[in-house]
């Protein structure tokens, strides 16, 4: 009896505390997996829908009610016609069930031919015809992108901005967070409050003042005009500072006993111990810069400086939006960052818990 209770306790405890090494699945595991599967459906389902939709042509995208897989009307080759004809199935009348190709159509009437007998033109009303549809992936949504503009150039610009801004941000923010978490100095709280204070003003609002400053500094239409202001994100300092607080001071004091310089303590001890938070911040920084739209839109106006997001949104006109191209482009811009995330997420699991905790 006592054993049972304790094993159950460990089980529930495991549920909440991640104890490793159980032999069989406990009910909490079932609950967890159930929750995660629901998660796949809710969180991932719409993304799958997005990817499939990027293979749909314009008609299929606008269709009510929407369908999961991309369909398109099939065409048939008929002798004597240069172009393939749209395929229909006849629903009623003498030809019921026959597959026909449509040659002409006007005002509720259609002229069709049976493929076996291409010379005889048959007149039917359009409500006797039902389009024949098959699954068709509109890969031209993708190929068009490469024909229409310099995709690689935009990709390079986006990559350069993202990598530079992320490195700069990680370095500068972790230094600041180290100072704000591991030193006692006058003005510390004031700086911290200022950092948090700037979080309060949304970027949308300071866009114009920021634009005027950046122009004044001569960074208009330069990639650095996107990189440098982007590195000053208060979220990063705040996030890292809160994480670094949890690193025990004893570790630092021990290093100081060994005559390590403060820079070495920062670089060799605090940064590695903050790996999970830095990994999180790296993921976020990469994502922010990669997906950034409003700021590059105002700073970069020349095609050769465009990022992927700007190119993507240039499919939006005043009155019309080219959704097939926009969706294909969205999926393409999503792939690299999804790959980066899958790579970086495993570093979140390495940290104090596995390295310096004991």
Partner 1 sequence: MLSVISSVMRIVEIPMIALQRLLGINRLAWVFLLPNLILFGLFAFLPVILNVVYSMTGSDNVLLSDRPYIGASNFGTLLDCSDFLDPNSCREDKFWRAVWNTIWFVTLQVGIMVGFSLLTAVILNRDIRARGFFRSVFFFPVLLSPVVVALIWKWILQREGVLNAFLDWTGIGGFNWLVDAHWAFAWSVFISVWAHMGFYTLILLAGLQAIPRDVYEAAIMDRAGAWRTFRRITLPLLSPTMLVVLVLALIKGVQTFDEIYAFTGGGPGTATTFIIQYIYEKGFAGAPRLFGLAAAASLLVAGVLVVLTLAQLWANRRSVDG
Partner 2 sequence: MRQKRFAMTALAGTMAAFVAAPSVAQEIRFMCYSDGNECEVYDDLLTRFEAEHEGVDVIVDVVPYQAILENLPVQLAAGTGPDLAKVTDLGGLNEYYLDLTPYIDTAYWDASFGDTLDWYRVGDRQGYYGLHTQLTITGPFVNATLFEQAGVDMPGPGATWEEWAEATRAVAEATEADFPMAIDRSGHRVAGPAISYGAQYFDDEGNGSFEGFMPFAEQFVEWNNDGTMARDVWASQGGATYADAAQEFINGEVVFYYSGSWQVGRMDEQVGDFFDWRVVGSPCGPAGPCSGMPGGAGVVGFEQTEHPEIVAEIIDFLAQEDVYAEATARTRNLPAHLGVASAGVEFEGASPAAQAALNAFASDLSNVSPIAFRYQGYAGNRAMFGITVERLSQAIVGELTVEEAMERAAEDLSAALAESN
Task: Give whichever of 48 and 116 is closer to partner 1, judged by the CB atom.
Answer: 48
Indicate whether 32 belongs to the interface with partner 2 (CB under 8 A).
Answer: no
Q: How far is the CB of 69 from partner 1 (least distance, A)?
A: 13
337 binds, among partner 2, partner 1, none (CB under 5 to 8 A by kind): partner 1
Q: Tell me, letter by letter, the H, E, C secondary structure of 301-330.
A: CCHHHCCHHHHHHCCECCCCECHHHHHHHH
Cβ within 8 Å of residue 232, ≥6 positions away = 172
| Residues in a beta bridge with 122 | 112
Q: How far is the CB of 316 from partner 2 (least distance, A)?
A: 5
Task: Give whichever of 121 and 188 is closer to partner 1, judged by the CB atom.
Answer: 188
135 binds, among partner 2, partner 1, none (CB under 5 to 8 A by kind): none
Distance CA 111, CA 21 (A): 72
Distance CA 162, CA 154 (A): 12
Q: How far is the CB of 223 from partner 1 (least distance, A)?
A: 15
Indicate whether 99 belongs to the interface with partner 2 (CB under 8 A).
Answer: no
Query: Which 130-159 residues touch partner 2, going by CB under 8 A?
Result: 149
Q: Which of 94, 74, 97 is nearest to 86 (CA)?
A: 74
Cα end-to-end distance, the chain, whole Å = 34
Q: Alpha carbon 319 to chain centroid distance?
A: 26
Give the interface segment with partner 2, choosing from 44-52, 188-196, 316-324, 345-353 (CB under 8 A). Answer: 316-324
Distance CA 55, CA 328 (A): 7
Distance CA 43, CA 23 (A): 30
Indicate whether 192 belongs to the interface with partner 2 (CB under 8 A).
Answer: no
User: Hey, what are 90's tokens?
Assistant: 């006849």
Q: How far is the CB of 50 from partner 2 (least distance, A)?
A: 18
Task: Give whichever of 117 and 316 is closer to partner 1, judged by the CB atom.
Answer: 316
What x/- string results for residues 217 through 256 when contact with partner 2 is judged by CB under 8 A?
---xx-----------------------------------
Residue 87 has a CB neighbour count (10 Å cut-off) of 21
Query: Which 204-223 residues touch partner 2, going by CB under 8 A?
Result: 208, 211-212, 215, 220-221
User: Hey, what are 31's tokens?
Assistant: 């609950």
Say whether 111 sits in a helix, a strand or coil. Answer: strand
Residues near partner 2 (CB under 8 A) are 58-59, 62-64, 86, 102, 105-108, 110, 126, 149, 208, 211-212, 215, 220-221, 297-298, 301-303, 310, 313-320
């Amino acid at each position: 009896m006592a054993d049972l209770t304790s094993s159950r306790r460990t089980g529930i405890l495991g549920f909440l505390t991640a104890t490793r090494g159980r032999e069989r699945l406990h009910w909490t595991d079932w609950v967890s997996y159930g929750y995660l599967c629901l998660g796949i459906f809710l969180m991932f389902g719409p993304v799958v829908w997005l990817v499939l939709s990027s293979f749909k042509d314009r008609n299929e995208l606008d269709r009510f009610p929407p369908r999961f897989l991309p369909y398109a009307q099939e065409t048939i080759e008929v002798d004597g016609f240069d172009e393939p004809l749209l395929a229909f199935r006849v629903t009623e009348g003498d030809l019921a069930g026959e597959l026909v190709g449509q040659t002409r159509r006007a005002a509720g009437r259609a002229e069709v031919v049976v493929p076996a007998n291409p010379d005889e033109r048959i007149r039917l009303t359009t409500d006797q015809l039902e389009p024949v549809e098959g699954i068709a992936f509109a890969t031209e949504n993708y190929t068009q992108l490469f024909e229409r503009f310099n995709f690689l150039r935009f990709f390079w610009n986006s990559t350069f901005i993202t990598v530079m801004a992320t490195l700069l941000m990680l370095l500068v923010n972790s230094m600041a967070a180290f100072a704000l978490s591991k030193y006692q100095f006058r003005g510390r709280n004031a700086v911290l409050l200022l950092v948090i204070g700037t979080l309060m003003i949304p970027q949308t609002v300071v866009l114009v003042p920021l634009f005027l400053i950046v122009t004044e500094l001569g960074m208009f239409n330069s990639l650095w005009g996107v990189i440098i202001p982007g590195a000053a994100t208060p979220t990063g300092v705040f996030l890292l500072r809160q994480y670094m607080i949890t690193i025990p001071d004893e570790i630092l004091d021990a290093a100081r006993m060994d005559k390590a310089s403060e820079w070495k303590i920062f670089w060799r001890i605090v940064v590695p111990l903050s790996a999970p938070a830095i990994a999180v911040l790296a993921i976020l920084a990469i994502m922010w810069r990669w997906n950034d739209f409003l700021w590059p839109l105002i700073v970069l106006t020349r095609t050769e400086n465009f990022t992927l997001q700007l190119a993507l949104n240039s499919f939006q006109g005043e009155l019309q939006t080219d959704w097939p191209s926009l969706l294909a482009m969205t999926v393409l811009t999503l792939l690299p960052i999804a790959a980066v995330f899958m790579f970086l997420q495993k570093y979140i699991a390495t940290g104090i818990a596995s390295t310096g905790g004991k």
